[in-house]
Amino acid sequence: MNFLEGLSLRDVKPLKAIVTKSSSSILKKESDNGGLKEEEKEEEEELLDPSARLFHEPKFNLYIIAMLGCKTKINPNIIKDGLLTTVLKHPRFCSLQVEVGGKGGEMKWVPTEVNIENHVIVPEINPAIMDDISPDRFVEDYISELSKTTIDMSKPLWELHILNVKTTEAEAVGVFKVHHSIGDGTSLVSLLLACTRQTADPNALPTVPVPVTKKRPVSSSKNSEGVWWMFAALWGFLAMVRNSLVDIFMFFATFIFLKDTETPLKGPPGVEYGSKRFVHRTLSLDDIKLVKNVMNMTINDVLLGVTTAGLSSYLNRRYGMVNKNDQGATEKRNNLPKDIRLRSTLLVNMRPSSGIQVLSDMMEEKAEARWGNWIGYILNPFTISLRDDPLDYVREAKTAIDRKKNSGEALYTYLIGELVPRFFGYKALAALSHRVLSNTTMSCSNLIGPLEEIGFYGHPMAYLAPTFYGHPQALTINYQSYINKMIIILAVDERAIPDPHKLCDDLEESLKLIKDAILAKHEHVH
């Protein structure tokens, strides 16, 4: 969930076992009569952390949706048996969230017995329905309906829906719906990956890329070079302080008065309560890596450039439809208003170790990375305009994100989430977060997936597509890598974005234009 770290697909590490000795020590212990002892209950009940508690506020009731496309029909009994021996070993998935001290107060985790039948849902599908709509549309509609309902607080807040419907990309689709209080996207995708095995080796856990840490060259013994390095370090520190102060000011300005332009991408008031439609599109990760390598950038830089280009094309068409006066699609002649302010909250994984963390590492008491909601965010501006040179989108995105890398904005927003509830309460944090998100346009995140094909309890996966909803924005764009694919997942409010597949088309076409520009430049050089 980190848009600030450059990704490398060269260095990998295996996922460890889902349950470790230390994690099993905190799991629910059964007494001789099958129940929990009273002292064990008191010992295991703990309060929700501030960010988890935030996600229960009325205007911030967030859920994560993870769509798993499988290459075979899904056997519900195999899935249930697998969940019992893996996911239900995790205390968050077998605990209730109970309010203490009155409504709107603290909440605590209370271990409970789980009836797997209440969590794995296999709807009966009338074949006649498929005569009226396509299987892909049926799956879309079903998942959209899930966004209209909440999970009953009388059970742990997660569900798995199994749809044995053949779509364009899969023979069946599993849909996890998990309340965001259980954990952030990094935690939950890690959990899912820990439940899978490589299809080529059923005993092997997946491997996921890890960022490469660039080591500072060893300084020379020459005094002149040592002085120069100290000067550069001081300059970098001062730049970071300046950037951080500017970003903190912009954060408060956004909270108080600074709003994004009212573009067609902005949702209406109350958008957090509306239903969402979830669509995805698969791009070539190799194409993205080609652009990355030639331009000497990161995958994140390329993705942000593609996003900027796609949003610009989409808005240019929408404004042309409104104005009914198509000015074309060139840098100088187009339908876009001048100086559009459009910002995204880019979600950042705040764990000390970057990238998707192994679930067993998160469960270690002294591990660097822990389970839960460890996320900050940055307010990243997108320059909405048409460019005659598609590579300009990537260059501009890199310039913007490089500046954000040299800022403490993500840490600052994370600390706000931790400190505000302690001094002013959860309602104050909810109001602040709601206001900031309402005054911006969209959210983005990027998650790293496995390098090889994996199977979910023996079911080979065609794709993994996670996203989230329940926040006051009409558009969320998530990127998820898997083998040699990059899956784009959109969560949209159709009142603002009635044609999400066209936005997918624009994002796909933008990557093609950027790649073609790279190839044309390479051929010209040679």
Could you give the residue numbers annotated as active site?
A: 180
Burial (CB < 10 A; 0-12, 13-18, 19+), residue 164, is middle
Residue 425's CB: how many other CB atoms inside 10 A?
A: 13
The set of residues, in sequence order, having a beta carbon less than 8 Å from that of 449 and lying 6+ positions away, is: 189, 193, 208, 356, 464, 480, 481, 482, 483
From 3, 7, 4, 27, select the one nearest 360 (Cα to Cα).
27
Helix (H) or strand (E) holding 81: helix 76-85
What's the 3-state SS for 139-191? HHHHHHHHCCCCCCCCCCCEEEEEECCCCCCCCEEEEEEEEHHHCCHHHHHHH
Return the structure tokens found at 348: 């950042």
The amino acid that residue 367 corresponds to is A
**Contact by Cβ (8 Å): 140, 28:** no
Residue 446: which residues within 8 A CB-CB, separation 6 or more?
Answer: 1, 2, 3, 7, 299, 300, 303, 478, 479, 480
Give the tokens for residue 168.
């364009």
